[in-house]
Chain A
Amino acid sequence: MEATVSNTGTEGKVWGGGNKPLNASYGKMMMWFFILSDALTFSGFLAAYGFSRFKFIDSWPIADEVYNHFPGSHGDNPMYFVALMTFILIASSVTMVLAVDAGHHMNKKKVTFYMFLTIIGGGIFLGSQAWEWTNFIKGSYGALETKGGQILQFVDTRMAEGDEKMHRVSVEDFAHASHKERVQHESKDGLWFVSEPALPKYSVQDVVTGFNAKSHLAVRTQELMPNIERLKASGDPADAAKAASYESKYVNADQTGQKGVLTRAESEKALKDAVVYVKGANLIHNEYGNRLFADFFFFITGFHGFHVFSGVVINIIIFFNVILGTYDRRKNNYEMVEKVGLYWHFVDLVWVFVFTFFYLV
């Protein structure tokens, strides 16, 4: 490398511009610039998520109840799938680092092999994320949304021996779609400038009728139950009144941290506010709880997934460059592998945080 640069006589002189204070090439330096700025972008998103979550701290959806699918068995398998995804991404980070190491030793065959494994790992991760999104969008139980945007879910109050909480009931199991001639109005029929969103499968009345016919059902709200004992023991009359109101409204007021299940009478009252049946999730409605919850999920995991996708594309380009011997001919050899490696590890780094804040905390 030295041979191409004319000697300026300042080598090693601190104030002559001759030494390299950071000892990194231009390309690597710029990659670190990019990574730092991208890290701040992601922190901005995650901080916004934290903001909304602290704002709705007493009613945020419980992650374990939302992401509980595993291939081959739907429902009640919290964490396993996302743990597997995390492991896949860390493993692909390892193969990337091995490719960089092989590059330092100018071992083209090994670089090719490890780059290939990294691309496969990235592909599997993207596939897993698509599966996760599919389940999230499709939903499993369905719920009613009230005028104020609250989600009302349904549970079976009959608990079996050893159950910690009441089981969710799918709206499809008790509601019957009433016959209707009403079809979705699309802009191609008649008034071409007017259209409406897809009609829900059930009307609110269908769900309420089904609910009234089955006395063992109850409505589960978004509210997380506070520590009732602590409220009672605080001595403040306002806290005592709060505790009493929780106990009169909810049947499971003693289950701290669980979603509140309304008494039958309160359930019927709550259903009066319902305006629409919701199944699954989109950017406007979701059956899991706060509307913002689904928005943040789509936005943050989507933005991360987009990073993984571009990482895979860049990896593929560099994989072919490795095969073609481009880096054997370059003056800085396999530094390009190292640079894309930095990006790839960064994507892994972001996922570690997304994993914590969406699934664990």
Chain B
Amino acid sequence: MAHDHGHTEHKLAIFRGTLKFKSNVQKIWGVLIFLSIVTIVEVGLGIVKPAFLIENYFIGMKYLNWIFIILTLVKAYYIAWDFMHLRDEKSSLRRAVVWTGIFLICYLMFILLQEGTYIEGVKTNGYIKWNF
């Protein structure tokens, strides 16, 4: 075998097995096309800004922003799983890397965004004048 280190086989299916590729190289191009489509959708939405996605909020954030963040996480998933070939690594390595990051980042985001919102509340409804 050319590669006697680490992983030996590539997993060639994406989208939970609905799309299977014949070779690793083909899969790489497939993922590039997918990531490009997602980016184009993001840019398209960013330019058009459909009114109903901007006017409606879900947990304090516009629908459109939720869509952007979810699409970003989708892109991040495919970059990590296929470009950084986490898909081919042992699940223990994958989980050690991914879950550690996710837990810490969720915690950090929650604390900071919560506090930011609080300060904004004090600033708008409180007794402190900011535009003096």
Give chain A's interface residues, CB within 8 Å of chain B: 1, 21-25, 28-29, 32, 35-36, 39-40, 43-44, 47-48, 50-58, 64, 78-80, 83, 86-87, 90-91, 93-94, 96-98, 100-101, 104-106, 146-148, 150, 227, 256-257, 332-333, 335, 338, 341-342, 345-346, 348-349, 352-353, 355-356, 359-361
Which chain A positions have C-beta within 8 A of B36? 87, 90
Contact residues of B: prevailing secondary structure: helix
Q: With A1-B4, A47-B112 known to touch, is A21 a contact of B90 (CB < 8 Å)?
A: yes
Write out, one digit per residue, whether chain B residues 34-68 have a CB within 8 A of any chain A CB (1) or not (0). 01100110110011000000110000000001001
A22 near B5: Cβ-Cβ < 8 Å = no
CB A293 to nearest CB in B, in angstroms, measures 14
Q: Which residues of A contact B104 (CB under 8 A)?
A: 40, 43
12 sampled A-B residue pairs with Cβ under 8 A: A39-B101, A47-B105, A79-B43, A83-B43, A93-B79, A97-B82, A345-B84, A349-B80, A353-B76, A356-B42, A356-B72, A361-B68
Tell me, in angstroms, the Cα distance from A1 to B108 when the chains sit together.
42
Total interface residues on B, CB under 8 Å, equals: 58
Contact indicator A23/B89 (Cβ below 8 Å)? yes
B37 to chain A, nearest CB (A): 11
Flag if B7 contacts A54 (CB, 8 Å): no
Q: Please report the C-alpha to C-alpha distance between residue A164 and residue B84 in the assembled complex, in whole angstroms.
A: 44
Whether A44 contacts B116 by the Cβ 8 Å rule is no
The interface residues of chain B lying within 8 Å CB-to-CB of A54 are: 113, 116-117, 120
| Contact call A83/B39, Cβ cutoff below 8 A | yes
> Within the complex, which residue of A48, A57, A83, A98 is in contact with B120, where a contact is CB–CB below 8 Å?
A57
Chain B residues near A35: list those with CB within 8 A: 97
- In contact, A97 and B28 (Cβ under 8 angstroms): yes
A1 and B5: CB pair below 8 A? yes
Q: Is the CB of B24 within 8 A of A48?
A: no
Of the candidates B4, B115, B116, B131, the one whose C-beta lies within 8 Å of that of A53 is B116
B120 & A58 in contact (Cβ 8 Å cutoff): yes
Report how far A227 CA is from B80 CA in the complex, Å: 40
Residue contact A36 to B46, C-beta cutoff 8 Å: no
In the complex, the 4 A-B pairs of residues with the closest C-beta atoms, listed nearest first: A54-B116, A51-B112, A51-B116, A356-B72
- Inter-chain contact B39/A333, CB cutoff 8 Å: no
Q: Collect the chain A residues with CB atoms within 8 Å of residue B28's CB.
A: 94, 97-98, 101
Asked whether A227 and B55 contact (CB < 8 A) given A24-B89, A94-B29, the answer is yes
Q: A104's closest neighbor in chain B, by CB?
A: B3
Q: Is the CB of B54 within 8 A of A332?
A: no
| Contact (Cβ within 8 A) A353 B90 | no
**Residues in B neighbouring A29, C-beta threshold 8 A:** 93
- B101: chain A residues at CB < 8 Å are 36, 39-40, 43
Which A residues touch B79, using CB under 8 A?
93, 345, 348-349, 352
Q: Which residues in A have their C-beta under 8 angstroms from that of B131?
A: 146, 148, 150
Contact across chains for B113 and A28 when beta carbons are under 8 A apart = no
CA distance A57 to B90 in the complex (A): 43
**How near does chain A come to B51, taking the closest CB pair, in angstroms?**
10
Which chain B residue shows the least CB distance to A53?
B116
Chain A nearest Cβ from B49, distance in angstroms: 9
Tell me which residues across on chain A come within 8 A of B19, comparing CB atoms: none
Contacts of B117 in A (CB 8 A): 54-55, 57
Q: B32–A79 contact, CB under 8 A?
A: no
Whether B116 contacts A25 by the Cβ 8 Å rule is no
Check B93–A32 contact: CB distance below 8 A. yes
Q: List CB contacts (< 8 Å) of B1-41 with chain A.
A: 2-7, 24-25, 28-29, 31-32, 35-36, 39-40
